[in-house]
Structure 1
Amino acid sequence: MDKSLNLDQLRSFGLVIETGSFSAAAERLGLSQPAVSLQVRQLERRLAVRLVERVGKRAKATPAGMELLRHMPHIDAAVENAIDALADHASGIAGRVRLGTGATACLHFLPAVLRGLRERFPELGVVVSTGNTEDQARKVEENSLDLALVTLPVAGRSLAVMPVLDDEFVAIGRADFAPLKARVAPGDLGALPLVLFEPGANTRKLVDRWFAAQGLHPQPVMELGSVEAMKEMVAAGLGHAIVPGMSMAGRGAHPELKTSRLNPRMHRTLAVVMRRDKPVSKALRAVLDAIVAAGKPGRR
């Protein structure tokens, strides 16, 4: 048996039983009485059962009709849920957006952005992956990511680059162990044991250039890919580090660490990169706008 059902026929049947009259149901539906009668007969033929019978002057449901009525609230709810879900897609604020970023921004910048997006657009899913700038830019170019939040500079002729925020670097050390001055220069840090980012990362290149401008080329005691690992090593008294300021702000603050500003100051610029030819859906626009809005206070 074909298990498809005509929703208009179901509605006509339900209103006939609710009102007790084909003519009253027709008036509610804005149809003629013969049209409603035809829909009910077609539904009965479709199901091969009698659904309506007359009891006196009223139309009543047969036992089979009563069984169908028992299921109709579930049918109505399923249809309503489907329509609501499609309405979300029609508005564009639904579906999935693939976002790449670095580990530090993932920990210390994106959580508030993603929470706000979920509260505003519960049907929107943002799938986040982490990696270095080069890898994330390549994935955007390959269209395996819709956009990425990365540390500049970034290469790629097919990429559009939108700066979002400036993140100033700070030096960190144990608060109770050889505390640093309020402002430190390359010469203050060059002779100390240093815990730095792994080679090749854009953040490491910035730090190396900061030292090199003063003719210094320190040899770190550790080279790590995680800013949180760097902070823990410094907290253990194993050295000092230069880290993005966002990693020490708010919930990123560490009770055993003291921060010092750099002299000269150094910052990195985080930017959103997308393919220039990428169609910007409403869902993608919502994610992009949320990232840019969150970055505005940080453009210091």
Structure 2
Amino acid sequence: MHKDFFGMALNLDQLATFVNVADLGSFTAAADMEGLTQPAVSLQVKGLEQRLGVRLIERVGRRAQPTAAGLDLLVHARRLLQASAAAEEAMMPYRDGASGRVRIGSGGTASIHLLPRAIAAARKSMPGLEITVHIGNADDILHDLEANSLDIAVVAMPASGRNFQIEPFYEEELLAVAPAGSLMPEGGPDAAFMRERALLLYEGGNTRRAIDEWLAAPDARTRPAMEFGSIEAIKELVAVGLGWSILPGLALKRERAGLVTTSSLKPRLTRRLAMVLRRDKHLTRGLREMMKCLREFKN
């Protein structure tokens, strides 16, 4: 028994599967994330339990949770997996000339108007860095981040999650947008003024929630004339006179054709963008460079 215990090396695949089951609270969810069957995941965890001679996962209701031994092992398992990832990263520059990979999740506005400049800066510093961008709503992006299918998310605040590290890095103003030639009130339109217009609003997400709160009337729910999933589409519809909108300043920075009129709101409305990572995420050189370039982003 003593010889077997110390004679066999720990299996990193088993450790990774154990961490995923503990984090997700489900063998099935871990199987989906790893592209395995649920029985295969169960065998991985069982093999690790047999290797160590202790019970690591127990079912509490419908949720799989680490035992006391499992909680202790999680600390060491994360450290071993991070060290393994660091070892792989150290070899990447020697393999096919690559310098690493960063998978980013972001909403539409940031992916069009903010990320390209930050990505260009990161690629200038690390020409071999592979960067992919997944566009979606904040809830889906954070879910993918939790599942470790993304390395970093760029989303509008608030963002929450006990396993997340959240770093606000950019604040932008939300602006009233009207067809070119529209008369804006002095000092900017207030909520009552905007509610009287036909509003074309972005559907869903933290930005929309902030706009709804700003527009809220004490005795009525804001009812936009139309809702869209694309801020670029809203800009085009405002330009042809179908209504007014409230849009992030980033989406209007390159609006030089004179097709719309913009103004600050009264009172001003802003939103903050944040970088979100898993707390246990290994910060590769490429990921550190991407975060540095996002922090340095300026209007």
TM-score range, shorter chain: 0.5 to 0.7
2:153 aligns to what SS in structure 1? Answer: strand
Structure 2 CA distance for partners of 1:213 and 1:164, relative to 1, 3 Å: farther
* Counterpart for residue 223 of structure 1: 227
- Structure 2 length normalisation: TM-score? 0.65
Q: Does 1:108 align with 2:97?
A: no
* Counterpart for residue 4 of structure 1: none
* Counterpart for residue 179 of structure 1: 183
2:296 aligns to what SS in structure 1? Answer: helix
Aligned counterpart in structure 2 of residue 150 of structure 1, from 144, 147, 155: 155
Aligned 1:250-269 pairs, distance under 5 A: 251-269=254-272
2:216/2:222 contact within 8 Å kept: no
Offset at residue 219 of structure 1 (A): 1.3
* Percent of pairs with identical residues: 38
Gaps spanning 5+ residues in structure 1: where? 1-84
* Counterpart for residue 169 of structure 2: 164
1:93/1:121 contact within 8 Å kept: no
Q: Distance in 1 between matches of 2:260 and 2:236?
A: 9
Offset at residue 110 of structure 1 (A): 1.1
Structure 2 CA distance for partners of 1:265 and 1:214, relative to 1, 3 Å: farther
Aligned 1:113-124 pairs, distance under 5 A: 113-124=118-129
In the TM superposition, structure 1's runs of 4+ consecutive aligned residues that sit over 2 Å from their partners are 85-90, 178-182, 213-218, 251-254
Structure 2 CA distance for partners of 1:268 and 1:253, relative to 1, 3 Å: farther
Matched positions, count: 208
Offset at residue 227 of structure 1 (A): 0.9
Aligned AA (2:138):
T
1:246/1:252 contact within 8 Å kept: no
Structure 2 CA distance for partners of 1:86 and 1:154, relative to 1, 3 Å: closer
- Structure 1 length normalisation: TM-score? 0.65
* Counterpart for residue 273 of structure 2: 270
Q: Deviations over 1:50-95 (max 9, x none)?
A: xxxxxxxxxxxxxxxxxxxxxxxxxxxxxxxxxxx968359x9812
Offset at residue 214 of structure 1 (A): 5.8
* Counterpart for residue 140 of structure 1: 145
1:145 aligns to what SS in structure 2? Answer: coil
Q: Does 1:189 align with 2:177?
A: no
Aligned AA (1:293):
E
Aligned counterpart in structure 2 of residue 210 of structure 1, from 214, 220, 230: 214
Offset at residue 144 of structure 1 (A): 0.4
Structure 2 CA distance for partners of 1:150 and 1:253, relative to 1, 3 Å: farther
Aligned AA (1:119):
K
Q: Distance in 2 between matches of 1:156 and 1:94?
A: 30
Q: Distance in 2 between matches of 1:87 and 1:227?
A: 38
2:126/2:286 contact within 8 Å kept: no
1:137/1:148 contact within 8 Å kept: yes
Q: Distance in 1 between matches of 2:222 and 2:184?
A: 17
* Counterpart for residue 287 of structure 1: 290
Offset at residue 202 of structure 1 (A): 1.1
Q: Distance in 2 between matches of 1:239 and 1:171?
A: 11
Q: Deviations over 1:220-277 (max 9, x none)?
A: 111011111110010010000000011111x244421010110111111100000001
Offset at residue 281 of structure 1 (A): 1.0
Q: Distance in 1 between matches of 2:213 and 2:205?
A: 13
Gaps spanning 5+ residues in structure 2: where? 1-89
Q: Distance in 2 between matches of 1:191 and 1:213?
A: 12
* Counterpart for residue 235 of structure 1: 239
Q: Distance in 2 between matches of 1:254 and 1:247?
A: 14
1:97/1:125 contact within 8 Å kept: yes
Aligned AA (1:270):
L
Q: Distance in 2 between matches of 1:89 and 1:136?
A: 32
Q: Distance in 2 between matches of 1:164 and 1:289?
A: 10
Q: Deviations over 1:78-128 (max 9, x none)?
A: xxxxxxx968359x9812110011100111111111112222211001100
Q: Distance in 2 between matches of 1:117 and 1:252?
A: 26
Offset at residue 180 of structure 1 (A): 2.2
Q: Distance in 2 between matches of 1:265 and 1:213?
A: 17
